[in-house]
């Protein structure tokens, strides 16, 4: 890949990208971190999680060996091990909270807990936060059955194992701002853990740049249709922000922004970053918040106005999801490690790592991004105010046709204003800030300036 300094010869430079528009050089440190993710380690973690018998939200909290309590303590103890190599920057807690009986999936008032590790950023003036999650709880056929074995290997041992593997690898490194690694609880009972964390974040005014929910990312064979594919993973992102105001809705319609919500920008960013760093894995962008009529742990974050997406395997296997362990008509039911594809899980974990590390190194996104509309012209002029962070090397204007799902071209500029020979009638744009190593911020969609 072309070194970025060679792009610096002229102040305005056009590069046609074959792959999704971002001009970035490869950061060898990200490649190194990805090489440290091992399928074998992920398998060991998943099997350890399964060994707690059940991790049902309402299962035993006192036993040292069985139930959600033992699983929480174990995840916490692993975080503490990683902390030893983090130079004191990784700290962990079990964030307990009480949920009231809801007459549905919570029978009595219960104390739940999210196990959370925070890798503190090195720049105290930078309040940005990244979050990666999986859900620790598991279930069988009856969602209220807290006693039967509920291995939850893939749902969601896979997401928790990926999150923990990243915590271990990334906490040995330093990033300017903070990354939160969390095993939430209560997903199967109604997204309780994620909702609690999203509400804490909202109250605390957390500056969350991106929230990555990983739920079922380790199975590559579909039930029924028997599709086998370990080269694609779905990323779900909302089209219209939940908290969109009437004014914003008007502006969305005026600017044809239906496919450019912040979460959609994040999804595209993941696709581009994965394409750059992870061999044999493609991001399948699904244009909905989650699967049809279903939700996940990113949903409460979306509902609180944060930029959040869900990673989920391409093909689900319903024989191994939410099932009592049994064999019927020669079909073995249940969410067991033997049905998982740990090489696939490794690749999806790598996609998460590349995304987090790229974002964590990136400057703040440009502010007040606008597009001039006072004159009729076949050129487009974009302006923005400089990113507040100091590590800005330049900016990229991303360009795509209105019918395309990924950025097709990128224009690199050093200034905070650029005029490009692409008509705003025919193309969509966004602007992102990049640092010297090519780490890019999330792209920002421009609003009209009159
Ligand atoms: Zn799940």
Query: Per-residue pLDDT tens for 247-302?
Result: 999 999 999 999 999 999 999 999 999 999 999 999 999 999 999 999 999 999 99
The strand pairing partners of 133, in sequence order, are: 182, 213
CB 150 within 8 A of CB 55: yes
Select 36-361's CATH number: 3.40.630.10, 3.40.640.10, 2.70.240.10, 3.40.50.150.
3.40.630.10
Q: How many angstroms is it from 103 CA to the middle of ligand 1?
A: 22
Q: How many angstroms is it from 217 CA to the middle of ligand 1?
A: 10
Q: How many angstroms is it from 319 CA to the middle of ligand 1?
A: 14
Q: How many angstroms is it from 303 CA to the middle of ligand 1?
A: 19
Alpha helices per DSSP H over 238-361: 246-255, 262-277, 299-303, 342-361
pLDDT value at position 12? Answer: 41
Fold match, 2-25+366-449 / 36-361: no
CB 436 within 8 A of CB 24: no
Contact partners, residue 173, CB within 8 Å, separation at least 6: 29, 33, 357
Residue-wise pLDDT for 334-366, tens only, equals 999 999 999 999 999 999 999 999 999 999 999
Calpha distance 331→335 (Å, rounded)? 13
Q: How many angstroms is it from 25 CA to the middle of ligand 1?
A: 35
Contact partners, residue 362, CB within 8 Å, separation at least 6: 432, 433, 434, 435, 439, 440, 441
Q: How many angstroms is it from 293 CA to the middle of ligand 1?
A: 14
Q: How many angstroms is it from 215 CA to the middle of ligand 1?
A: 5
Structurally, at CATH architecture level, domain 2-25+366-449 sits in: Sandwich (2.60)
Contact partners, residue 208, CB within 8 Å, separation at least 6: 128, 129, 130, 131, 201, 301, 306, 307, 308
Q: How many angstroms is it from 155 CA to the middle of ligand 1?
A: 5
CA distances from 356 to 136, 209, 234, 273, 311 (A): 21, 10, 17, 10, 13
Calpha distance 267→284 (Å, rounded)? 9
Q: How many angstroms is it from 193 CA to the middle of ligand 1?
A: 12
Q: How many angstroms is it from 367 CA to the middle of ligand 1?
A: 36
Q: How many angstroms is it from 141 CA to the middle of ligand 1?
A: 13
Q: How many angstroms is it from 224 CA to the middle of ligand 1?
A: 20
Q: Which of 180, 196, 160 is nearest to 44 (CA)?
A: 160
pTM attached to this predicted model: 0.94
The segments of the chain whose pLDDT lies below 50 read 1-22
Q: How many angstroms is it from 156 CA to the middle of ligand 1?
A: 5
The strand pairing partners of 145, in sequence order, are: none
So where are the chain's domains?
2-25+366-449, 36-361
Q: How many angstroms is it from 448 CA to the middle of ligand 1?
A: 41
């Amino acid at each position: 890949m072309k070194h970025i300094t060679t792009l610096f010869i002229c102040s305005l430079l056009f590069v046609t990208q074959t792959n999704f528009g971002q001009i970035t050089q490869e950061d060898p440190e990200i490649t190194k971190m990805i090489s440290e993710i091992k399928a074998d380690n992920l398998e060991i973690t998943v099997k350890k999680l399964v060994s707690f018998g059940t991790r049902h939200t309402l299962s035993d909290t006192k036993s040292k060996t069985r139930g959600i309590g033992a699983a929480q303590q174990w995840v916490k103890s692993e975080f503490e091990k990683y902390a030893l190599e983090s130079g004191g920057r990784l700290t962990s807690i079990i964030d307990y909270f009480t949920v009231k009986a809801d007459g549905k999936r919570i029978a009595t008032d219960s104390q739940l807990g999210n196990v959370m590790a925070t890798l503190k950023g090195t720049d105290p003036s930078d309040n940005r936060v990244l979050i990666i999650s999986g859900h620790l709880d598991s279930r069988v056929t009856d969602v209220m059955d807290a006693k039967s074995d509920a291995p939850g290997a893939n749902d969601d041992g896979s997401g928790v194992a990926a999150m923990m593997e990243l915590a271990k690898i990334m906490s040995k490194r330093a990033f300017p701002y903070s990354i939160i690694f969390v095993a939430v609880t209560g997903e199967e009972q109604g997204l309780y853990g994620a909702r609690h964390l999203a509400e804490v974040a909202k109250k605390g005014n957390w500056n969350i740049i991106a929230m990555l929910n990983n739920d079922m990312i380790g199975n590559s064979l579909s039930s029924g249709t028997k599709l086998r594919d370990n080269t694609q993973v779905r990323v779900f992102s909302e089209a219209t922000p939940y908290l969109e105001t009437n004014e914003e809705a008007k502006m969305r319609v005026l600017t044809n922004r239906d496919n450019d919500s912040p979460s959609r920008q994040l999804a595209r960013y993941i696709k581009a970053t994965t394409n750059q760093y992870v061999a044999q894995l493609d991001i399948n962008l699904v244009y909905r918040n989650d699967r049809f009529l279903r939700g996940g742990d990113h949903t409460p974050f979306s509902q609180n106005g944060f930029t959040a997406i869900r990673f989920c395997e391409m093909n689900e296997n319903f024989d191994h999801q939410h099932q009592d362990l049994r064999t019927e008509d020669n079909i073995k039911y249940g969410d067991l490690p033997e049905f998982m594809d740990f090489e696939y899980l490794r690749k999806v974990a790598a996609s998460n790592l590349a995304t987090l590390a790229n974002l964590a190194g990136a400057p703040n996104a440009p502010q007040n991004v606008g597009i001039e509309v006072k004159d009729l012209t076949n050129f487009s002029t974009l302006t923005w105010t400089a990113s507040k962070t100091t590590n800005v090397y330049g900016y990229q204007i991303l360009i795509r046709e209105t019918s395309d799902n990924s950025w097709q071209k990128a224009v690199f500029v050093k200034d905070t204003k650029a005029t490009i020979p692409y008509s705003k009638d025919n193309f969509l744009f966004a602007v992102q800030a990049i640092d010297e190593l090519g780490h890019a911020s999330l792209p920002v969609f421009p609003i009209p300036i009159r």
